[in-house]
Structure 1
Amino acid sequence: MKIFSKKIQVLLFLLTVGTTLSFAQEKAQPVFKDGKAQIVDAFNTPDKWIREDLFVETTFDSDGDGKLDRMHVDVTRPYQTETEGLKLPVVYESSPYYAGVARGNGDEFWDVNHELGVWGPEHTHPEVIRTGERPIISNSQISTWVPRGYIVVHSSSPGTGLSQGAPTVGGDNESLAPKAVIDWLNGRAKGYTEPYGGEEVKAYWTTGNVGMTGTSYNGTIPLAAATTGVDGLKAIIPVAPNTSYYHYYRSNGLVRSPGGYLGEDIDVLYDFINSGDEAKRARNNKVIRDTEMRNGQDRITGDYNDFWAGRDYLNDMAPMKAALFMSHGFNDWNVMPEHSYRIFKKAEEMGLETQIYYHQNGHGGPPPIAMMNAWFTHYLFGIDNGVEKSENKAYIVREYDDRDNPTPYADFPNPQSQDVTLHLTPGAPGYGGLTLESTSNQGTETLVDNYSFAGEALAQAEFTEHRLLYLTPKLKEDIHISGLPKITVKLASSKPAANLSVWLVSLPWEDGRRTRITDNIITRGWADPQNYKSLSESKPLKPGKFYEITFDLEPDDQVIRAGQQIGLMIFSSDKNFTLHPKPGTELTIDLDGTSLTLPIVGGLTKDKF
């Protein structure tokens, strides 16, 4: 009887365990296939998602009210994180744009029609009407990541929306704000139900592993957070991020606008995002915009200074440990491709786990979702899918390929690139030559500045005094450029200050025939000849005296097809990017002292012309 009773007990125990296991198996869990998180039906239930908002306390008081600023944060998570105790990692995006932006009529931009070395006429300061209601800050990222088993978090950056503080456009508080949110997700900072007072809110539903992504300004903030070295931030995928506000609004000492926003400067962007507490705006405008920015931005000389250095994330990377997957377009003339390149190369130098994705289009454009998925799956869920072991650091979309089908390369620039120096032969006002041979006594050629002619028109003109254009012979085979072209120009100006613009073009012009934007522009660059010795100290030019200046053009990876000619175009004011001084300034180029260096895969020999 005792033996039978014991058997019954064992049987009942096994039945109980089986029932428990069956119940456990029914609980929703992330699913992985081929190293990527899959959509799980139990998570793909928008009507059951838990959506809530809160205010995370930071370590700073950027609006000067004597209280630590709190950031407005929203959370979207599968209901299983509440009912089943499921803990999941976080995909986090932060932005200054979520609550609306200023809508001006053009008067908010600086007037660019004036001489160099002076402030232009004052511009207007439009007000932002804040939009959005609690608890939803944004719906971005949610439909992509929540069904795959992630929690999605958003926050408004300081001084925007319901977040307290002041917008600083690259100031320290824009790095410390997302850090505070990540600290809260890991139990190291406090969150509250209200902007003042309120009950404490804890993030009991997350593993604490965080990945950040976003485009443009929203791509800058992940980098800003990563430079703090905050624990828990495992990986970032910045898309077309602005990594230095100097490089965004200046170029080698020159006051230069981002493409499409002629006359924008950092104070204009400040007004554009200033959607925070209306009661705080007057103080923030006075302290941040009208004092700090006014004194620091320096539209007179364009020199690099402490103000700009404090808004350059390359200077802050020492604490960074998050894995970095950069994304950018080679034809992004708003946030130019150098922004990603400079951070990518520094991260490589630091030994961080790093990759970069480049496409041939303009602003924006994230990596394929499959690549992002594999990246976050590895770093946030800890799945061993090999992304960190890849022999390929660079993924580049070739000229006619789909953006979801990039070509892998060992690195960018292509390790097989070789610097090839090309020299000039005369031909103004028509076409001069661009050759491998260096010949002495080539003389000088002169152009006359006139901003009313766009660069595209100058490149297509057969004869014009407003630019100098030097062409290679027709290519006998395709040439693959990969890296940073560099130019050395020896020039004299007829005035103490002048714009210097350089385009590298592919001719003949072929509008509309290719898939990429700005088809025939290979790359561009700008510089202030007054900064020929120092980026931080410009000196007026002595009219008629020759100066030598060397600078990089924007990075590129492009195949120039056989039958085309590579053209180096040198001109002065760039209609869509620079200030517009009165036409008539003359730039004289010493041909012997001017050269172009191209990074060409496999090098370049005479037989390729």
Structure 2
Amino acid sequence: MLIRTRGIRLRTRSNRLRPLRSFVFAAVAALAAVLVTPAGAQAAHVRESQPVYSYENAIREAVWVDTGLDGDGDGKSDRVAVDIVRPREPAQQGRKIPVIMDASPYYSCCGRGNESQLKTYDANGDVVQMPLFYDNYFVPRGYAFVGVDLAGTNRSDGCVDVGGRSDVQSAKAVIDWLNGRARAYTTRTGSERATAGWTNGRTGMIGKSWDGTIANGVAATGVAGLKTIVPISAISSWYDYYFAKGAPLYDGGPADLAGYVESPDAQAHCAAVQQKLVAGSPRTGDWTNLWTERDYVRQAGNVRASVFVVHGMQDLNVRTKNFGQWWDALAAHGVERKIWLSQTSHVDPFDYRRGDWVATLHQWFDHYLLGYDNGVERRPMADIERHPDQWSTDRVWPPAGTATTVVNPVSGPAPGVGGLALSPAPAGTTSAFTDNPAQDETSWAAQIDKSTPDKAGFTTQPLTKDLRVSGSSKVTVTATPTTSSAHLSAVLVDLGPDTIRNYAGAGEGILTGTDRTCWGESTAGDSSCFLTTSADKKDVGYTVFSRGWADLGHYASATKGVPLTPGKPYTITLDLAATDHVVPAGHRLALIVAGTDNGLINPPTSTPTLTVDLARTAAKVPFVGGPWAFARATSGTHPQLGAGSSLTPKGVPVPRMTQRLPGDLRR
């Protein structure tokens, strides 16, 4: 289930951040430039905002924005609480400033960041501590920071509807208010109006997990004034948080999550909303109108903001299908975008790449909110962590030349042990396994070369060249069950020794130290200094790098499952998680097909044996270099390619196919 203290779960680069004291020497000159240079001219010459404003004397205030909704049914429009920290000097100078916003349900229940920080308030109800470093760092540089309590949480009216209309409207209404299109008040129940004459309305949203999810949802409305979003480990479709083509990923559902973050007022008045959440999310895994409302991917064509996606490639909380399908939809609509992919699970980049993260985020907001021509949008689109703290870049992502390649499982020397080839297996070739809910992807991978009853594994021989997978894969399986229900899992594995981040450890890939580093200015009630972190490393003999699941009963429709007829074959396609992984020369690539992936999906109501028709089972994998790259890396290691292949000038056989465009891996 959602909600950990660092996340949603229950249960550039050359410009390193300079020491803060070095800014003092530039402050006077920078302040003079700010005062005498018109904003438009400034954008053409200034490449980096400087900390020239006082954080100690910043204005701290609260307003309540009218959402226009009545989620709690009390006959009054819900108001959401908005805590604001903004520099005092620009208003005195008649200058308007942009806004960085984090809309969250966690400000009072669970906290934000690695240290689970909560909002704190003074006797007047104005914010004293704003979680995370955003206000400490950006307010002195001429930004306002706005922390929004989602409806039904902390000091806001209304009810939590977990990614639905009320959640999204909580933040959208604030952007409308910042642009003069909505009303706000100085108190929760009073009539005194509050205006936002201090801002130019240009807003950037940021946040991790549920917070970043709201940024995706608001961007999908196309609201005017939202210039950029930075969703970190964020959901793009709430169905894909709870289910994978009918297979349940978690016990419980949205109602449980809402109950965890609700304010006492919401707990007392939101029973009807809770009931709707339960009714709209049946554990059958069937698609309902509730999921349609919470599917932002379908609305990607409305996005007008730039998008800086950040995700852990081993995120087993918000599975990486969420960023993969969002990225592909944004690419299809020509949205300006950037991406960072780490080896961590559900972790904020502030806790695995702190200096580069702050510097890059600074440049990103300077460009999209202040209009500075600092070149950040012309830098490599993708940063990818290859090994702990070792990063590579790509001009575009997925890289040019990435093409979907059909890879086929073929039978091998023993039952459940086979190979991978570009040619399909002969008709009638099968492999069988029995679902064992006590086993998982790691136990399958550890016994990949053994004939075990709970999985079917297919591997290449040791690769002769590196082979890179970049994007989202699909595995189509034709299987005959012995019972009326069955779940399927498919995983891609890099078989070979490596040192990786310990993404399954308590820190999800990081270790928290005892020293602190400071990022911005501090007050007595809000420190800019945070505990240091380092990579939690683990030596492994194999790495599962992409996975997908499905309920076989959803073979005919992703929206509705049906009971299976024992002895009848069914074909279903599993969507594997988006990733970017290099299987190095000397390692082997493996595809495993099995039943319940313990800890990642729930088991079916029966314990089926499934017979897989290998001739009608295949994986579509986005290799950089396409079939040619796979053929070269596996040259001489598996059966001939067969009829329909053609020889390249170098003599490497490659099936004829249409090469895909970068960033478009939806097939």
SS of 2:361's equivalent in the other structure is helix
Distance in 2 (alpha carbons) for counterparts of 1:562 and 1:288? 54
Q: 1:428 to 1:517 in 2, by over 3 A?
A: farther
SS of 1:502's equivalent in the other structure is strand
- 1:79 matched to which residue of 2? 88
Distance in 1 (alpha carbons) for counterparts of 2:459 and 2:375? 45
Distance in 1 (alpha carbons) for counterparts of 2:423 and 2:221? 50
Verify the 8 A CA contact 1:208 1:232 in the aligned structure 2: yes
Match of 1:349 among 314, 332, 339: 332
Verify the 8 A CA contact 2:66 2:80 in the aligned structure 1: yes
Distance in 1 (alpha carbons) for counterparts of 2:470 and 2:174? 39
Once the two structures are TM-superposed, the CA of residue 172 in structure 1 deviates from its matched residue by: 0.8
- 1:282 matched to which residue of 2? 268
Q: 1:205-233 deviations in whole A, cap 9, x for unaligned?
A: 21211111111111011122222222211
Once the two structures are TM-superposed, the CA of residue 524 in structure 1 deviates from its matched residue by: 0.3
Verify the 8 A CA contact 2:425 2:614 in the aligned structure 1: no
Match of 1:541 among 549, 564, 574: 564
1:326 aligns with 2:305: no
| Partner AA of 1:400 in structure 2 | H
Verify the 8 A CA contact 1:475 1:562 in the aligned structure 2: yes
Once the two structures are TM-superposed, the CA of residue 288 in structure 1 deviates from its matched residue by: 1.4
Q: 1:204-261 deviations in whole A, cap 9, x for unaligned?
A: 221211111111111011122222222211111111111111000000121122xxxx
Match of 2:397 among 411, 429, 433: 411
Distance in 2 (alpha carbons) for counterparts of 1:170 and 1:487? 29
1:209 aligns with 2:202: yes
Superposition pairs of residues 51-450 of structure 1, within 5 angstroms: 51-101=60-110, 132-133=120-121, 134-136=125-127, 138-140=130-132, 141-257=134-250, 263-274=251-262, 276=263, 278-284=264-270, 286-290=271-275, 292-299=276-283, 301-366=284-349, 368-388=357-377, 390=378, 392=380, 394-400=381-387, 402=389, 405-412=391-398, 414-429=400-415, 431-441=417-427, 443-450=429-436
Verify the 8 A CA contact 2:399 2:624 in the aligned structure 1: no
Once the two structures are TM-superposed, the CA of residue 48 in structure 1 deviates from its matched residue by: 1.4
Once the two structures are TM-superposed, the CA of residue 354 in structure 1 deviates from its matched residue by: 2.3
- 1:38 matched to which residue of 2? 49
Match of 1:466 among 444, 454, 471: 454
| Partner AA of 2:373 in structure 1 | D
Distance in 2 (alpha carbons) for counterparts of 1:23 and 1:553? 51
Verify the 8 A CA contact 1:399 1:515 in the aligned structure 2: no
TM-score (norm 2): 0.76
SS of 1:550's equivalent in the other structure is strand
Q: 1:479-534 deviations in whole A, cap 9, x for unaligned?
A: 111122221111011111111111111214x4x72347466012000011111111
Larger Rg: 1
The size of the alignment, in residue pairs, is: 545
Unpaired runs of 5+ residues, structure 2, are 1-28, 112-117, 350-355, 505-541, 638-667
Distance in 1 (alpha carbons) for counterparts of 2:337 and 2:30? 42
Distance in 1 (alpha carbons) for counterparts of 2:88 and 2:143? 12
- 1:604 matched to which residue of 2? 630
Q: 1:608 to 1:355 in 2, by over 3 A?
A: farther
Once the two structures are TM-superposed, the CA of residue 594 in structure 1 deviates from its matched residue by: 1.3
1:502 aligns with 2:490: yes
Verify the 8 A CA contact 2:254 2:277 in the aligned structure 1: yes
Once the two structures are TM-superposed, the CA of residue 83 in structure 1 deviates from its matched residue by: 3.4
Distance in 2 (alpha carbons) for counterparts of 1:193 and 1:55? 6
State the identity %: 32
Q: 1:270-297 deviations in whole A, cap 9, x for unaligned?
A: 11211x2x2442331x21122x122111
Verify the 8 A CA contact 2:301 2:330 in the aligned structure 1: no
Once the two structures are TM-superposed, the CA of residue 381 in structure 1 deviates from its matched residue by: 1.1
Q: 1:413 to 1:540 in 2, by over 3 A?
A: farther
Unpaired runs of 5+ residues, structure 1, are 1-20, 103-129, 258-262
Once the two structures are TM-superposed, the CA of residue 341 in structure 1 deviates from its matched residue by: 2.2
- 1:107 matched to which residue of 2? none
SS of 1:399's equivalent in the other structure is strand
| Partner AA of 2:486 in structure 1 | A
| Partner AA of 1:356 in structure 2 | I
Q: 1:264 to 1:406 in 2, by over 3 A?
A: farther
SS of 1:229's equivalent in the other structure is coil
SS of 2:386's equivalent in the other structure is coil
State the Cα RMSD in Å.
2.7
SS of 2:76's equivalent in the other structure is coil
Q: 1:59-91 deviations in whole A, cap 9, x for unaligned?
A: 111111111111101111112134333321111
Distance in 1 (alpha carbons) for counterparts of 2:291 and 2:131? 33
Verify the 8 A CA contact 1:447 1:571 in the aligned structure 2: yes
SS of 1:417's equivalent in the other structure is strand
Q: 1:439 to 1:431 in 2, by over 3 A?
A: closer
Q: 1:39 to 1:92 in 2, by over 3 A?
A: same
Q: 1:320 to 1:485 in 2, by over 3 A?
A: closer
TM-score (norm 1): 0.83
Q: 1:397 to 1:411 in 2, by over 3 A?
A: closer
Once the two structures are TM-superposed, the CA of residue 445 in structure 1 deviates from its matched residue by: 2.1
Verify the 8 A CA contact 2:65 2:174 in the aligned structure 1: yes
Distance in 2 (alpha carbons) for counterparts of 1:574 and 1:544? 23
- 2:586 matched to which residue of 1? 563
Distance in 2 (alpha carbons) for counterparts of 1:586 and 1:428? 18
| Partner AA of 2:279 in structure 1 | N
Distance in 2 (alpha carbons) for counterparts of 1:142 and 1:441? 63
Higher-strand-fraction structure: 2
